[in-house]
Each structure stands twice: as C-alpha cells, then as structure tokens.
Amino acid sequence: MEYSHIPVMWEQLRHFLKPVALEGSVFVDCTLGEGGHSNLMLDEFTGIAIIAFERDPEILQVARKRLSVYENRIVFVNANFTEIERYLANEKRAIRAFVYDFGISGYHFEKSKRGFSFRDDEPLDMRLDERCTRSAKDIVNTDSEMALAEIFAKYGQERWSKRIARAICDIRQKKAIETSRELAEIVLRAIPARYRSKRIHPATRVFQALRIAVNEELSAISTSIPAAIRLLASGGRLCAISFHSLEDRIVKNAFRRAERGCLCNDEPCRCYDRVRINVLTKKPVVPTIHEIARNKRSRSAKMRVAEKL
C-alpha cells in the first residue's frame, strides 16, 4: 500500500529516543496517523512496546494494517491525545517516551475527502472525528463576521482576516458555502491581487485556521503535554514536532513552565509535587536540507525535546 504521509525528522528523533529505548519500556505515540513513526520505532528499537493514540477511526484502520506484523508489541487507542491520563493512569510498565507529531497527516489532505484541501472540490467538513461538535461548514455559515475574522487572525495569522470574513458573510446571504473549492475561491477574490503570495495558495492560512478551530488543536496540546510529563518515568523523554509557530510556542512555554516545576497552567501556579524537566533542545531542531529536498512538507517542522528529572 502507498502511504500519503512521510514521517518527518526520523534521524533526529532516533537520536533523542535511543538512550531511553530500554528493554521492556513503553513508548507512547500520541499522533499515530498512518503509523509511520511507530513503524520506524518498532523496527529500530526491538525491546520496546508502543501505545498509540489516534482520534480518527478511519486512518487508525490504515495504521492497524500497516503495523499488523508488530501486533504483539503495539496497542491501538482510538482517542484524542488529551485523554492519555485516562488511558495510561494504571499502566504498570515504565513509560520512557512520548512522541507528538502535530498537525494532520498527508492522508487527510489526499484521501479523506473532508475538505482539508482547497485543491479539490470536497464537502467542507475538516473534522478529525465525529466528536467535534461543529464542522468547518457550520462555522463558515453561522459564525458572525467578527468571530470569523478572529479565527482567521488568531489561528491562521491571516493579514486580510476582516476582508475575508466580510466576503464570506456577503456570499452566504445568497447561498450556503458547501465545499472547499467554493471557500478557496471566496478567499482568493477577497485578497488584493498584488498581495497574494506566490509561494503558497492565498487560502492556506484560512484553511489552517478553520481546521484548528474545528478540532480544538491548540488547547489539546496545552492539556496533553503536562499530562505526558506527569506520566513519564524518571529519565524519560518527550519529543514534540510542530509545524507552525502557534504549536511551537505552546510547546516552548509548556517546557519553560515545567522547568520551573509547574504543570498546572494556572496563574499563580498551584502545583504541589513540583515535577521538573530538563529541556534538551535550547533551540528547536529543524530538518536537514536533504530531508527538505526529499519531503517538502518537512520544511516547517521544528522539534523540541525534554527529559524528566
């Protein structure tokens, strides 16, 4: 089977995971996708087992088939990585690594038919699982102009957020916006021609913003990282790969707080046990030029790694 998603930064990830790949240890793949990183970890580190989380049941079935040869070493969990504490609280084996690969898989762009890509005319959905309360279509057709502009500016860092929101509201008064191509064309017309990027499609930031809003991706990161640190065995490592600045900033700030012993996200801090970490990547690790040449999707990837003390 040909897979859509190429796992990024494997050589760097292997470097950081090798010291904790002890016989009988458990690694947690929080973002299984098509199973690329889990496949590489199971093949490279023969003494470990993996617990793999994937919220999308459709892509989980793809990963199950891919990893069936390792069925005695991997457990699949159809859940969001915000639920790791619920599923792992009673795990008796030492959890020595958590691996996150944020964003969405190439599978969703190319095969899911849920409107993640503006290159095809697909239903405007963007939900990674049916537990999401609203689809992208719901947001585009019901949120106020102000709310849409805020989503595009906050999650997409879109300069023309207000113009785009106004254009959407004008169109939806005449007819509902149903498909990804319809939305992409509205965005294209809303942005002045001389300001349209030649490197990326003008609708890229709007589609990113809607996907993040639909799936509550950023709040999930904020919730999950402190939980992962609590669950790690002493000396265990957390590796997080981000693909845009919003994700990376959340990881960086979560690590900074954890360095001070704070895992609560409250102000002032209400932590009592003072779990601490050591950040192993003072600056984020980035892909090599050779990897970027092989896999253009890796060009924006950044990896941060922390070790529990």
- The string of pLDDT tens digits covering residues 76-94 is 999 999 999 999 999 999 9
Q: Is the pLDDT of residue 216 over 80?
A: yes
pLDDT band at 227 (very low <50, low <70, confident <90, very high): very high
Q: Is the pLDDT of residue 6 over 90?
A: no
- State residue 197's pLDDT score: 74
CB 95 within 8 A of CB 236: yes
- State residue 273's pLDDT score: 63
Mean pLDDT of 12-16: 98
pLDDT band at 113 (very low <50, low <70, confident <90, very high): very high
pLDDT band at 119 (very low <50, low <70, confident <90, very high): confident
**Which range among 21-25, 36-40, 116-120, 255-259 shows the weakest confidence by mean pLDDT?**
116-120
Mean pLDDT of 222-245: 96
Residue type, 299: R
Q: To the nearest whole number, what is the mean pLDDT of the chain?
A: 93
Q: Residue 101: helix, strand or coil by DSSP?
A: strand
Distance CA 129, CA 140 (A): 19
Q: Where do the domains of the chain lie?
A: 10-108+217-308, 133-215
Q: Is the pLDDT of residue 198 over 80?
A: no
Among candidate residues 160, 24, 180, the one with its CA nearest the CA of residue 96: 24
CATH number for the region 10-108+217-308 comes to 3.40.50.150
Q: Is the pLDDT of residue 153 over 80?
A: yes
pLDDT band at 17 (very low <50, low <70, confident <90, very high): very high
pLDDT in tens, 178-197: 999 999 999 999 999 887 87
pLDDT band at 1 (very low <50, low <70, confident <90, very high): low
CB 17 within 8 A of CB 40: no
CB 19 within 8 A of CB 305: no
CA 275 → CA 69, 81, 251, 282, distances in Å? 37, 20, 17, 19
Q: Do domains 10-108+217-308 and 133-215 have the same CATH topology?
A: no
Question: What is 133-215's CATH topology?
Answer: DNA polymerase; domain 1 (1.10.150)
